[in-house]
């Protein structure tokens, strides 16, 4: 047996540590290139997290096969995002190739990429060239052709490393989105970084120094991040939720279930076998696919990322903070409401999803603060419960000039941001935004989930009740009647009302609603917006 042509169990464990080290080193650079399938800036992070928690302890493993089997299973369980699920196919290829060759020989390593490419292509309902899939295939093709000329592991790794670089450089020629954004494929580059790090570790060369040269070669003539123009153009798209989970079951037909599961959303990557299926998919609402998956087996390792938030965060990285004196953080939810804050606050605005039963933690707020380069930050909690959380920041020593305006509702937050002017000084904005809260009226309409007494008024379950300026106004059988009554009341004192329509009440056409609400009014103005907020059928702001 020529040990120079095989990889031992301890060596494989060391290689995995090299993979993790290299991804940790380059995850942000990989994130900066992330444009396909969604420009959400998380490819490098997801690849890193997929490997970070793998069990690399070889003492409890009897042999290489049991270790590789565990890697295959655990990498699928830990896989994050599109890139993480596709990366897990490398370990499937490694196990299957070992079982075919009975050892981790030169030919087994070469064959790993062919198997990974085949399984990746099968996992994608609509395979796209110019991605990690292509890099797998290009490496596999050149590596298998070169086996006869390789006399050592170092020889085959050199072929693999070089093939990965050439393939990544060519990805913009195969995928127009990459050309439009001015970058190479991020997942492919991440895979190439791993393979080159493996090669450099094998030849005892300086990994960090050589990886930098390889990275620069791969992006030569292109940008090191997605172009601002591309992010701006894609900013109006609705991406939904990146939903990743595992189904543990028995006798599942992966081919049949792949076809069924992929119909629930877009950008699906579905792989596995009869006992374990890994699902990555982009959906607006995850309930349907999760409910179906529970009929197949136990759903575990559920991980959901809102890609609208991520794409916004990704584009925020390119903000010109030399022109932003003060930044604003608004805690809110609902696409239309988020859009209203973003439009009013422009480049100064940052969004943290929250409200209702989904309140952010102090840690989440601090993480957002750390991302902002402005020294001055104004925070709009927009909810009484969140005010309590946000005020805990006063007890912490943060290297920022932070002011919290105690907005108790979305309407107050909207009023405050309407009064914000990015060209004005910090204190002047605070005064204007705080004063604006005293100049508006607000109301909301929602359905009672139980019989309750509020402000000495008995409200019956399933009736629509209206709250005006923090006091119960009345309740009604129908939400449209409640809306008509509260609009008439607010127009007695104000001339302009903005109505944010909740996701349970959104209509296709608001012309009839607007006509009805203004029918008895003169010289009044009404703005109706799809707020898409939860819990509240209507939020009203009167000025």
Q: Using one digit for the tens of pLDDT, what is the confidence trace for 413-422?
A: 999 999 999 8
338 and 458 in one domain? Answer: no
Instruction: Report whether pLDDT(355) > 80.
Output: no
493 and 450 in one domain? Answer: yes
How crowded is residue 122: how many other Cβ atoms within 10 Å of its Cβ? 15
Among 370, 312, 387, which residue's Cα sits nearest to residue 346? 312
Q: Which domain holds residue 278?
A: 241-309
228 and 93 in one domain? Answer: yes
155 and 180 in one domain? Answer: yes
The answer to whether position 63 is within a domain reads yes
Instruction: Report whether pLDDT(39) > 60.
Output: no
DSSP element (H, E) containing 350: strand 349-353
At a CB cut-off of 8 Å and minimum separation 6, what does 72 contact?
Answer: 88, 91, 92, 94, 95
272 and 155 in one domain? Answer: no
Instruction: Report whether pLDDT(141) > 90.
Output: yes
CA angle (34, 531, 42) in 5-degree steps: 15
195 and 135 in one domain? Answer: yes
Q: What integer pLDDT is reported at residue 235 of this predicted model? A: 45
Q: What integer pLDDT is reported at residue 460 of this predicted model? A: 83
Confidence of residue 435 (pLDDT cuts 50, 70, 90): very high
The answer to whether position 314 is within a domain reads no
258 and 197 in one domain? Answer: no
Q: What integer pLDDT is reported at residue 237 of this predicted model? A: 41
- Identify the three-state secondary structure at position 472: strand
Q: Which residue has the tokens 């107050």?
A: 412
Higher pLDDT, 201 or 83: 201
Q: At what angle do helices 153-174 and 207-218 cross, to 10 degrees?
A: 30
| H-assigned helices in 219-333 | 228-234, 254-262, 287-294, 307-316
Higher pLDDT, 425 or 271: 425
How crowded is residue 477: how many other Cβ atoms within 10 Å of its Cβ? 10
Q: Which residue has the tokens 């990690």?
A: 132
| Domain-terminating residue out of 194, 211, 233 | 233
According to DSSP, the residues that pair with 467 across neighbouring strands are 444, 472
226 and 88 in one domain? Answer: yes
156 and 21 in one domain? Answer: yes
| Domain-terminating residue out of 276, 309, 342 | 309
Tell me: the pLDDT tens digits for 177-224? 888 888 899 899 999 999 999 999 999 888 888 999 999 999 898 877
Q: For the chain, give the longest Cα–Cα distance.
A: 94
The number of folded domains in the chain is 4
Mean of the per-residue pLDDT values for the chain?
84
- Identify the three-state secondary structure at position 499: strand
* Contact of 507 with 308, CB cutoff 8 Å: no
pTM: 0.57
Q: Which residue has the tokens 């565990």?
A: 70
Q: At what angle do helices 186-202 and 207-218 cross, to 10 degrees?
A: 150
Question: Alpha-carbon distance 341 to 162, whole Å?
Answer: 48
Confidence of residue 54 (pLDDT cuts 50, 70, 90): confident
Higher pLDDT, 387 or 435: 435
At a CB cut-off of 8 Å and minimum separation 6, what does 221 contact?
Answer: none
């Amino acid at each position: 047996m020529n040990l120079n042509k095989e990889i031992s169990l301890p060596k494989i464990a060391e290689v995995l540590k090299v993979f993790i080290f290299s991804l940790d080193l380059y995850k942000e650079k990989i994130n900066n290139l992330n444009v396909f399938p969604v420009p959400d800036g998380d490819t490098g992070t997801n690849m890193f997290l997929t490997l970070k928690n793998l069990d690399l302890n070889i003492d409890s493993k009897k042999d290489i096969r049991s270790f590789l089997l565990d890697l295959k299973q655990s990498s699928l369980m830990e896989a994050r995002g599109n890139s993480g699920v596709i990366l897990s196919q490398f370990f499937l290829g490694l196990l299957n190739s070992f079982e075919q060759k009975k050892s981790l020989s030169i030919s087994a390593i070469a064959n790993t990429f062919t198997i990974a490419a085949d399984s990746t292509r099968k996992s994608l309902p609509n395979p796209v060239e110019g991605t990690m899939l292509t890099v797998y295939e290009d490496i596999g093709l050149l590596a298998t052709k070169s086996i006869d000329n390789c006399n050592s592991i170092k020889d085959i790794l050199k072929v693999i490393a070089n093939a990965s670089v050439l393939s990544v450089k060519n990805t913009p020629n195969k995928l127009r989105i990459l050309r439009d954004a001015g970058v190479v494929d991020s997942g492919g580059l991440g895979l190439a970084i791993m393979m080159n790090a493996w090669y450099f570790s094998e030849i005892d060369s300086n990994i960090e120094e050589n990886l930098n040269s390889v990275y620069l070669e791969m992006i030569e003539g292109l940008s090191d991040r997605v172009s601002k123009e591309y992010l701006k153009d894609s900013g109006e798209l609705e991406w939904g939720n990146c939903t990743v989970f595992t189904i543990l079951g028995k006798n599942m037909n992966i081919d049949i279930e792949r076809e069924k599961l992929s119909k629930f959303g877009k950008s699906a990557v579905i792989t596995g076998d009869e006992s374990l299926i890994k699902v990555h998919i982009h959906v607006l609402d995850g309930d349907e696919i999760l409910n179906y998956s529970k009929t197949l087996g136990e759903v575990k390792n559920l991980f959901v990322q809102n890609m609208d938030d991520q794409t916004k965060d990704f584009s925020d990285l390119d903000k010109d903070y030399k022109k932003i004196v003060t930044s604003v953080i608004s805690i809110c939810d609902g696409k239309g409401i988020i859009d209203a804050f973003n439009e009013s606050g422009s480049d100064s605005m940052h969004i943290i999803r929250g409200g209702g039963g989904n309140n952010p933690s102090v840690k989440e707020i601090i993480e957002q603060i750390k991302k902002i380069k402005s020294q001055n930050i104004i925070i709009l909690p927009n909810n009484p419960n969140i005010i309590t959380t946000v005020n805990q920041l006063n007890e912490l020593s943060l290297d920022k000039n932070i002011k919290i305006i105690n907005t108790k509702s979305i309407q107050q937050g909207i009023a405050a941001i309407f009064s914000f002017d990015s060209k004005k000084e910090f204190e002047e904005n605070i005064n204007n935004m705080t004063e604006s809260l005293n100049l508006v009226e607000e109301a909301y309409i929602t359905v009672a989930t139980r019989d309750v007494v509020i402000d000495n008024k008995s409200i019956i379950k399933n009736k629509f009740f209206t709250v005006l300026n923090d006091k119960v106004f009345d309740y009604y059988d129908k939400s449209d009647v409640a809306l008509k009554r509260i609009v008439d009341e607010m127009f007695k004192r104000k001339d302009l009302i903005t109505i944010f329509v909740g996701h349970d009440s959104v209509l296709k056409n608001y012309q009839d609603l607007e006509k009805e609400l203004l029918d008895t009014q003169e010289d009044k103005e009404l703005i109706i917006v799809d707020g898409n907020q939860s819990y509240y059928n209507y939020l009203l702001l009167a000025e």
